[in-house]
Amino acid sequence: MGPEAFLPVAFVVGYLLGSIPFGLILTKLAGTQDLRSIGSGNIGATNVLRTGNKGLAAATLLGDMLKGTVAVIIAGSLWGPNAAMLAGLGAFLGHLFPIWLQFKGGKGVATYIGVLLGLFWPAAAMFGAIWIATAFTSRYSSLSALVASFVTPIFLWFFGHPALASLFAVLTLLLFWTHRENIRRLQTGTEGKIGQK
């Protein structure tokens, strides 16, 4: 069988890796209250930070990133670049809609970066630079992620990766959808700023 036959397998592998809820697992191991009962109820690193444990938040961020990177690398090394992209899509969807948590997952920023890192690392570096610059000037974490993700498909297309640009255009639309409440709060001026209690 050719590598095309394994494309569905690559997607499923990516989805299952993406579905691992690192925030929930790490906070349970640390003995904190159920992550879904505090702050936004989200399973991502930003909400883990609301437990007051910066180390757990950093570990969650790293775990949510690396599951996207690992999915891409495994699928790419076994079945080629198309499989890597499908595994990346699967990992991102797995984080947003994890099968283990009634399909209620995180917002996807860390996994987005992790998939990007695995597929074309210069774009991940660009994402990080734009995130930092926007966060420094606005102090809005959500806005920083939205701006960086908006630029990502354009960056990929400009550097001659139309297939990746198409994939990340889809991921960016999904990211905007998961941040729809943040966008409303940004519009009304009620979004919390970085470092704000």
Contact 34, 13 (CB under 8 A): no
Q: For the chain, give every domain's residue range.
A: 1-104, 120-197
What pTM does this model have?
A: 0.93
Q: What is the pLDDT along the chain (197 residues), one digit of tens a residue?
A: 666 789 999 999 999 999 999 988 888 888 777 777 776 667 788 778 777 778 888 999 999 999 999 999 999 999 999 999 999 999 999 999 999 888 889 999 999 999 999 999 999 999 999 999 999 999 998 999 999 999 999 999 999 999 999 999 999 999 999 999 999 999 999 988 876 65
Q: Minimal CA–CA distance to 21: which of 67, 72, 88?
A: 67
